[in-house]
Amino acid sequence: MLGLRPTGPSGADDARQSEEVRIGYRMLGLGFQVVSEVGAGLLLGWLIDWATGWKWSIAVGGAIGIVVGLTTLVRSAWKLNAGLEARDAPSRRPGGPSSRGSRP
């Protein structure tokens, strides 16, 4: 009517944005997973403390939870990063779409 163009994302932009949202939710899930693993370690330590009376069990359980949580976080982040690099690899090849016009 007035010659206005839609300002929404195109099909390719929409697909890329959808993938970025999926990756964001995966990262959010990793954060919750780390917190829950640390919490589980603390809970197990507290249960051992309650059952046996050994006061160091909460600290040991928390430390084990932190180690397990960080190990899971690093492994999942490496896997996610490898997937992102594989997705972007065709655009980084010499002569690929991103290298056009970049030579002097």
The pair phi, psi for residue 94, each rounded to 5°, is: -60, 130
The angle subtended at Cα 39 by Cα 29 and Cα 56, nearest 5°, is 150
**Integer Cα distance of 80 and 101 in angstroms:** 30
Answer whether residue 61 is part of any domain.
Answer: yes
Say if pTM beats, i.e. exceeds, 0.85.
no
Instruction: Tell me the C-alpha to C-alpha distance, in Å, between residue 56 and each of 16, 35, 69, 73.
Output: 49, 21, 20, 26
Answer whether residue 6 is part of any domain.
Answer: no
Number of domains into which the chain is organized: 1
**Integer Cα distance of 33 and 11 in angstroms:** 33
DSSP symbol at 101: T
Answer whether residue 94 is part of any domain.
Answer: no
Tell me which residue range forms the domain holding 64. 27-86
pLDDT per position as a tens digit, 43-92 = 999 999 999 999 899 999 999 999 999 999 999 989 988 888 887 777 66
Answer whether residue 73 is part of any domain.
Answer: yes
Answer whether residue 16 is part of any domain.
Answer: no
Looking at 21-25, 38-42, 45-49, 95-99, which range is the least confident one? 95-99
